[in-house]
Structure 1
Amino acid sequence: MEENVELAPPDIRTKQNARARSLLRNMFDAAVAAANPIKVLADHLPEKPKGRCVVVGAGKASAAMAAALEAAWPDVPMQGIVVTRDDHAVPTRHITILEASHPVPDARSEQAAQEILQAVKGLGPDDLVIALISGGGSALLALPIKGIMLEEKQNIGRQLLHSGATIAEINTVRKHLSAIKGGKLAEAAAPAQVITLVISDVPGDDPAIIASGPTVPDKTTDQDALRILRKYNLDVPASISHALEQEPTKDPTQQSVNPKNRVEMMATPLMALQAAADVARKAGITPLILGDALEGESSVMGVVMSGIARSVQAHGVPVQAPAVLLSGGETTVTIRSGQKPGKGGRNTEFLLACALVLNGQKGIWGLAGDTDGIDGTEDAAGAIFTPDTLARGIQNGVSAEDFLGRHDSYSFFEKLGDLIKTGPTLTNVNDVRLLLVL
């Protein structure tokens, strides 16, 4: 242990840390910039409509997307409503911006969903609906189906977020408890054409999962949602069980869809990783993208990626150092029943696990962050770990093992001054994880 956490001479350590920190932060910033709606939206717009143009949307990036749309089409009369997370609104001229709660919906989420459904009613075949969809939209559009109270949806949502369920599983349940998700918004807009512009935050970029697919036909069933609730042994109120058990199973192929509707993927996790990789190449570092859709427990992901970094350093496999390992996707943090977690998110938990596995190994640094600027529910996008993270933790009287055990990774990196705080980035292409081997 003492040999592993021994610090390098101060002058060498300072230069290496400064270079590594700067490069990692530049890579992360490039990943975020690659999903900037102002940069990418104009390339995905359809032909201007003959009739009315109604804009709706939901997600952490939806307000910025609305502003970008207005800038790209200054001569097109438009109206509409989008809902975004608190503190994510931006000025617009014609499109109304609403804010609501995330990741657990509130009454404003329900009201926003009702107003958006109303905005698309009574349209004709010459009218155009542009749906601006990004991550976070599931919580921001929370209109329960008949017979279910918002409070019951909120409770199920909280349980799912702590259960270790994947985002695809969580959103499957959300769709079947919703009167607007799972393609229902597009059905309400018929016969108008619906063009959905998407910034993806989910593994695989499935538009039916992003924000629970309010304009995309749903291929899952009520029985799928029930199986997920039972899989994670959730405390399900009778009203929800009854609604899912009694609702007749719909054939997804029979969902009413305008054949002119289409989805345009504006920005994805892979695009963000490729932008980060370009920064590494320009710095003389070989990038290796391990995947844009990696899922699993955050701490386990830390063990796996740290093991690959060690192989790079020791054997030049699967890539020769100097190199950086990149991955995207959404990991999970499972909270045990009865456990009261500390402050943390999936990215800081991943990094703290990395630091413990590497145990002060020289020449390896890491950064992980959520591209929306908010890791979980805290005010940091993520953090950075360095070869001397554990040693500095000891110097500050904090144990990495203890903090990881109680899911308090935010507090650990806060004490070391290694949190990354960007504020809301107004976009979201999920997490970016970087391990730099010099």
Structure 2
Amino acid sequence: MVPKKLQSKRKKPKKKRTPLDPAEALARIQKREESLKKRIMKVEETKEILTKRKTERTAKKNALRDARIKLYENQVKNRCKTIQEKRMIQIREDMKSILVAGVDKVNALKVVNDKVKLDGTTMMINGVKYKLKNNVHMVGWGRETLMLGASLEKLIGKHLRKGFLVVPKGSVSGMWDNPLWFPALNSRITFLEGGSMGLPDDKSVEATCRIAEYCKKLRKADVLLVVLSGGTEALLNCPKGAIKLTEAEEVLSMLKTAMATPLEVNAVRHKLSAVFGGELARLAYPAKVVTLVMSDVPGNLPHLIAGSPTVNDPGKNAALAVVRKYKLEESLPSAVRDVLYEKPPAKDPLVNENNQFKFVDYHVLADTGDAIRGMTDAAFRLGLVPVTISSTVVGPVREVSRAYAQVTALMILAAEGKISKLEMYDAMKFDQVLPLSEEKVREIFPSKERWGLGLCLLLGGAPSADLSEKGRTGPNQDLALYFSLDWYLKVKENPILNDYVVWFLGGSTAGIDGNTQAAGAYGYGSLGPAVFKRYKELTQEESALDIKVRGMLRANPESPETQNAVKRYESLRDELSRVSAILPDRVLRERNANFMFMNINDGDELLNLDYTYTNVSDLHIIRIARYQCSCDGECLAPREEILSPKGLCQDEKCVANQMLPKILVPPRNQCCARSAGPKLKIY
């Protein structure tokens, strides 16, 4: 008997494969190819994302390194500066510290800790109590919601069941730069990125529609926290019905081209959206909706902040009338017309007699007024007397600048006893940008007894400035330059203003002004005029040298003196061309004020802040101080040195100078902080 190991294994007969249909075989091949293509695309997309993140990290490291190098270079450079220049540096630092204190006051982390409290299972917001029992859901839109959402989750803990926050592209990776912004390790929040260059895209629409579907599933016992920050319309976007994103954007573009008002555009935008104008709240009903807002709208008008997804907006029912007003109805896509033709219900059971939702609570966590209160404390610490003028300034920057120059001049004239309260009131009561009531005039009317080291006028709002693709500017930089010119004219009209040092600082609380990387800029009376003065000097010098060079070329063109004169003439013309490129009227006309600020005083007149992760519009500071001696310290020297010709103080208002015989008093020099003028550095 043959052992089993030695027995040959019989091979099982192979099953005969049925031949595939050629069409089916081709379909399989195509499917494999498509799968391979998708895999390759996914790999390439992942590589692109990783490369982009690496580039961003490298750019941040380089930016941090460059900032440290520049700080060190400035410190070295400042050691060699005169007392006048050091005073200017000190003024900039003091004003910046005041503005930064305002920004810190509305920091998202501090805002949540100050405004939202938790006592056991009871959450309290602005005095309103909410009972929590593992029934909280969170949705939000905007870059600031990174900090707001993470802070709220740490506060309410296990009561949060699920959260979705939509933020601009690149925000999540930037969140890890600061440990205070880290979400909990077991975070229940999903961060969704979308939007590109401030415009909606398919990802932002997909994220918002996903949130809308989630809100439909909420029940009566649930609490929905809606976290919003200003300027998030690009993220909070979900077209209604069968409307495509491109169709909705095209309709809005047509309205803007037809010169429709912002309110009219807003009405159509809300009508075409599945979430704007209170539609998100309707989807979440019957859940309790609690809205938490970082307001960037002066006056905190709810229907204008972040698309108002939880605020009932009856104005959207006028969208069809708006379209017909501008005769655009026939040119609209059919899906858009279908939505516009929808009629609202005769009676809405979800709203009260004031057209507000019965189940929605609305809380403003931070606004411009809060930031101004933070600046008030900082101004006090510097010895300045803070005067809050307004936190709701709106209008074109040109008009805002005139109003600011006017109220500054009135404050000085009032302190000098030249005008009364009634005259100040009459001058400002009908101002379109900065109207002052009788109560406000009584509150801010200054006196020399309450002056301290100077006055610090505090304002805020959202002045508007036109931006262009070619130029680089922002409302705060335009405002600083306009204020410089307006204040120069005010001083010319009333010489008594020349005895005061006046500086302006405007900055965005978001850290980005317009389409630039700067947050804002400084302005004072000699800033703009000094550029004009330098241009005039170069023009006169160029004209005189032109005549001289022509004569030298005719007399002896080959001589070294002639060649040197020609080189000097060419260099002068190049400098004249560069100065003409930064003339204030030119950069304002070309919407390129940032270019001028970068090319004077080594860029010191630009306000630079890191991204603040907050946004409550713009903050403005006007510093008013009495005339300061500009003698570079000679007045502090021994009397015998002052009496010597070399040690003469160049300031006739200097106390030491007033003690000298009249014959020794030299002509008055310009004050460093008022009219010495910037040193141009053009490149």
Which TM-score band applies after superposition, normalised by the shorter structure? 0.7 to 0.9
1:179, CA displacement in angstroms?
Answer: 1.0
Change (3 A) 1:412 1:122: same
Aligned residue pairs, count = 425
| Alignment correspondent of 1:84 | 167
Question: 2:620 aligned with 1:433, yes or no?
Answer: yes
Query: 351-360 or 24-33, which moves further after superposition?
Result: 351-360
| Alignment correspondent of 1:346 | 475
Task: Give the AA of the match of 1:377.
Answer: N
1:247, CA displacement in angstroms?
Answer: 3.2
Query: 385-394 or 78-87, which moves further after superposition?
Result: 385-394
Question: 2:388 aligned with 1:289, yes or no?
Answer: yes
| Alignment correspondent of 2:551 | none
Q: Choose 1 or 2 for highest CA Rg.
A: 2
Determine which of 96, 113, 118 is the counterpart of 2:190: 96
- Rounded Cα–Cα distance in structure 1 between residues aligned with 2:523 and 2:475: 14
Task: Give the AA of the match of 1:151.
Answer: T
- Rounded Cα–Cα distance in structure 2 between residues aligned with 1:249 and 1:163: 26
Identity %: 26
Task: Give the AA of the match of 2:599.
Answer: K
Question: 2:457 aligned with 1:325, yes or no?
Answer: yes
1:254-333 to structure 2, matched below 5 A, reads: 254-255=349-350, 259-316=358-415, 318-320=445-447, 322-333=454-465
1:426, CA displacement in angstroms?
Answer: 1.1
1:431, CA displacement in angstroms?
Answer: 1.0
Change (3 A) 1:304 1:136: same
1:266, CA displacement in angstroms?
Answer: 0.9
Query: 59-68 or 313-322, which moves further after superposition?
Result: 313-322
Q: Is the 8 A contact 1:60 1:136 kept in 2?
A: no
Q: Is the 8 A contact 2:97 2:378 kept in 1?
A: yes
- Rounded Cα–Cα distance in structure 1 between residues aligned with 2:256 and 2:478: 15
Give CA deviations for 1:38-78 in whole Å, capped at 9, x if unaligned: 11214335335224321101123111111111221234343
Give CA deviations for 1:182-206 in whole Å, capped at 9, x if unaligned: 1111111122111111111102112
Question: 2:116 aligned with 1:44, yes or no?
Answer: yes
SS of the residue corresponding to residue 182 of structure 1 reads helix
1:153, CA displacement in angstroms?
Answer: 3.5
1:412, CA displacement in angstroms?
Answer: 2.2
- Rounded Cα–Cα distance in structure 1 between residues aligned with 2:209 and 2:310: 15
SS of the residue corresponding to residue 379 of structure 1 reads coil
SS of the residue corresponding to residue 486 of structure 2 reads helix
Query: 390-399 or 165-174, which moves further after superposition?
Result: 165-174
Change (3 A) 1:379 1:119: farther
Q: Is the 8 A contact 2:311 2:357 kept in 1?
A: no
SS of the residue corresponding to residue 291 of structure 2 reads strand
Question: 2:147 aligned with 1:64, yes or no?
Answer: yes
Give CA deviations for 1:140-184 in whole Å, capped at 9, x if unaligned: 111122353322443566688899988766544432221111111
Change (3 A) 1:18 1:95: same
- Rounded Cα–Cα distance in structure 1 between residues aligned with 2:161 and 2:328: 44
1:20-419 to structure 2, matched below 5 A, reads: 20-42=91-113, 43-44=115-116, 46=123, 47-89=130-172, 90=175, 91-92=182-183, 93-101=187-195, 103-155=198-250, 171-223=266-318, 227=322, 238-239=332-333, 242=337, 245-249=340-344, 254-255=349-350, 259-316=358-415, 318-320=445-447, 322-334=454-466, 342-359=471-488, 363-390=501-528, 393=531, 397=579, 398-416=582-600, 417=603, 418-419=605-606
What is the TM-score when the length of structure 1 is the normalising length?
0.85
SS of the residue corresponding to residue 221 of structure 1 reads helix
Question: 2:151 aligned with 1:19, yes or no?
Answer: no
Which protein has the bigger helix share?
2
- Rounded Cα–Cα distance in structure 2 between residues aligned with 1:413 and 1:120: 48
Q: Is the 8 A contact 1:129 1:195 kept in 2?
A: yes
What is the TM-score when the length of structure 2 is the normalising length?
0.56
SS of the residue corresponding to residue 315 of structure 2 reads coil
| Alignment correspondent of 1:6 | none
SS of the residue corresponding to residue 395 of structure 2 reads coil
Q: Is the 8 A contact 1:34 1:271 kept in 2?
A: yes
Give CA deviations for 1:238-297 in whole Å, capped at 9, x if unaligned: 239735752325568555686343112211111111211221122222222222112111
- Rounded Cα–Cα distance in structure 2 between residues aligned with 1:323 and 1:79: 50
- Rounded Cα–Cα distance in structure 2 between residues aligned with 1:14 and 1:269: 32
Q: Is the 8 A contact 1:327 1:434 kept in 2?
A: yes
Q: Is the 8 A contact 1:164 1:334 kept in 2?
A: no
1:26, CA displacement in angstroms?
Answer: 1.2
1:433, CA displacement in angstroms?
Answer: 1.6
1:236, CA displacement in angstroms?
Answer: 10
Change (3 A) 1:95 1:344: same
SS of the residue corresponding to residue 364 of structure 2 reads strand
- Rounded Cα–Cα distance in structure 2 between residues aligned with 1:226 and 1:168: 13
Query: 255-264 or 24-33, which moves further after superposition?
Result: 255-264
Q: Is the 8 A contact 2:297 2:305 kept in 1?
A: yes
Query: 182-191 or 324-333, which moves further after superposition?
Result: 324-333
Q: Is the 8 A contact 1:172 1:225 kept in 2?
A: no
1:350, CA displacement in angstroms?
Answer: 1.6
Q: Is the 8 A contact 1:226 1:244 kept in 2?
A: no
1:422, CA displacement in angstroms?
Answer: 1.9
- Rounded Cα–Cα distance in structure 2 between residues aligned with 1:377 and 1:205: 24
Q: Is the 8 A contact 1:222 1:244 kept in 2?
A: no
- Rounded Cα–Cα distance in structure 2 between residues aligned with 1:287 and 1:252: 50
Query: 38-47 or 267-276, which moves further after superposition?
Result: 38-47
- Rounded Cα–Cα distance in structure 2 between residues aligned with 1:159 and 1:367: 37
Change (3 A) 1:109 1:301: same
* Larger relative contact order, structure 1 or 2 (CA cutoff 8 Å, min sep 6): 1
- Rounded Cα–Cα distance in structure 1 between residues aligned with 2:218 and 2:368: 34
Q: Is the 8 A contact 1:374 1:381 kept in 2?
A: yes
Extract unaligned runs of 5+ from structure 1.
Answer: 1-9
